[in-house]
Amino acid sequence: MLLAHRIRLDPTPVQRDYFARAAGTARRVWNWALAEWQRQIAAGQRPDAMALKKQFNAIKYTHPDWLDADGQPWLRTIHRDAHSQPFAHLAKAWSAYFAALRAHRPAHRPVFKKKGRCRDSFYVANDKLRLDGKRVVLPKVGPVPLRESLRWPGKIMGASVSREADHWFLALQVEVPEQVACLLRSGDGVTGVDLGVSAATLSSGEKIAAPRPLRATLRRLRIRNRRQSRKVKAAKMTAGIAGPMPKGFRLPVSANRTKGARTLARLHARIARVRTDFIHKLTTRLCRENQTVVIEDLNVSGMLANARLARAIADVGFYEFRRQLQYKATRYGTTLVLADRWYPSSKRCSCCGTHHGRLMLGERTWTCDYCGAQHDRDVNAAINLQRLATGALAAQSALPVASLAATPGTAADMGSAGGGKVTPVRHEHGQQDGSGQEQNDAHF
């Protein structure tokens, strides 16, 4: 099983400078390769990533565009992995684009990357780095301290160094043995989860409030955005520019504008960390304590089209919640069931199964006209989702109510969505001492 461990680095100022130059090199090579790819398509040719790489290798040390002010090839100061991997990434991006077209899904062409508008990162091959406890030895820079040691044993398949705000991180992709990657659950329950913009409601009636970090820091974020906008406006006035920026022109960078940009980036990074921490802890708990988890197959992209709810939905992270459940279900042997997005989980009475009819978004409680039961909207939906896994409502619904998780290779591929018999934990195999630290992992 392939797992990734993302570790924060503590580089020196010289190492930070190299990381920034290596990320800039990867970005510039990507832009060169994409421009050449598009030029060949316009000329009626069929571009190939490996052919582009050979073409670039033939000019990278001699062409004037890749020489410094002294006429020396500055690419020699950057390790070759940083300017060779963008070709593979570009080929993968075009393959994903054409695959989406063939599947009639929304497709997006690869675009050019701009400094300050894209993620700074570069690739390091597995044979070019070496781990030594809480240190990693990287090419061109030598040993760099790590905040923690690598969590799992196994073969390192590759690594990437990336920047988040003013911090640098090393992401290691590790091939972990199955007996180490698989963890033991602490329970064998079946639970339904109704995910809302303010809380996640379980079928047991428990409501777990979402932190909603963007909402909590929105005022501070607006203040810092206005401050940065005023600095940019002052720089344009100093340069004598009125209106839109001319193409290719760069404003002179002042120390205050750089400081404000870093402050704003740190705030955005903190918002993302708070949201990710909550989702990791909740999804780990659900997979660890249950044999089957049932969620709704939400149309997140369609929900984000609603201008009134888009910010609240994005602040909770609906799709990230589902993505983490899918890969963690593999590690815990948990079955993930997806309820059909048209299944009326909120409108169906969990006591008698009667359909309530029209239910407005603002109605948080309602009373069943048939049996008189009073329901909390979210708790009722979570209970109905739980019963889908056990087949309790299968005879009362004519809709396609549930399906297995759509991720190939997950544990949901191994069982039936109808549920029924539950296997006790004592009959399962796996690691006997789950550390619980997988809440910070990412799955490739």
In the chain the domains, ranked by start, together with CATH numbers, are 2-181 (no CATH), 189-210+272-432 (3.30.420)
User: For the chain, what percent of residues have pLDDT higher than 90?
Assistant: 63
User: For the chain, what percent of residues have pLDDT higher than 70?
Assistant: 88
Chain segment 348-391, per-residue pLDDT in tens: 888 887 887 787 787 888 888 778 788 888 898 899 898 888 76
Chain segment 162-192, per-residue pLDDT in tens: 999 999 999 999 999 998 999 999 988 899 9
Chain segment 361-372, per-residue pLDDT in tens: 878 888 887 787
Judged against a pLDDT cut of 50, whether residue 116 lies above it is answered with yes
pTM for this prediction: 0.82
Q: Which residues are catalytic?
A: 194, 296, 378
Beta bridge partners of 126: none
Q: How confident is the model at residue 394 (pLDDT cuts 50, 70, 90)?
A: very low
Longest dimension (CA), the chain: 86
The span from the CA of 206 to the CA of 390, in Å, is: 20
Chain segment 118-130, per-residue pLDDT in tens: 999 999 999 999 9
- Check residue 404 and give its pLDDT: 56
Chain segment 56-70, per-residue pLDDT in tens: 999 999 999 999 999
By DSSP bridging, strand 402-404 and strand 442-443 are: unpaired
